[in-house]
Chain A
Amino acid sequence: RKEVEQDPGPFNVPEGATVAFNCTYSNSASQSFFWYRQDCRKEPKLLMSVYSSGNEDGRFTAQLNRASQYISLLIRDSKLSDSATYLCVVYGGATNKLIFGTGTLLAVQP
């Protein structure tokens, strides 16, 4: 079983739709959580960190459920420019490294 699991998609949604991605992690000692965005053939870039109380950045909302070891990302009012792969990333405290999921591909259609 992978340490960080995501549905690879693709998620095909129309512009303006709301879409949610989920991610589960296996190490209960994990300390920090992130969503990265990766455009096709580009490098990953930090989208947002995920805090225990949940956090919002414009159209993006991230949630963390430590009890269920589950992270989510909600995108409201999808734009064409949101089309990308969204990587769920977990910091495993004991191993001092970032663990990436396989990514979820989002395609926003006009």
Chain B
Amino acid sequence: DIQMTQSPSSLSASVGDRVTITCRASQPVGIYLNWYQQKPGKAPMVLIYAASNLQSGVPSRFSGSGSGTDFTLTITSLQPEDFATYSCQQTYNTPYTFGQGTKLDIK
């Protein structure tokens, strides 16, 4: 199975900050890497698919990059509604493993 490791596991930031979350795969996954946002008590929601493609309706302050084993999710100018948990997922092959999640909270 492909292991997905995110860093950091938690992050404190302020409204207006720029934050970057990284995701590393235990073996190359090409660009089959997605990012999801999850708020407490809610289902996950896709933000970025295929490493760098912004899902329809997602604000442009979210962006993704990377290929192979190393990926990043960047949020520029944090908004209050962005404080949530972010998870990466590889869909290169099954099982479609997720990272452990990065909890972003308000400093």
A binds B: no
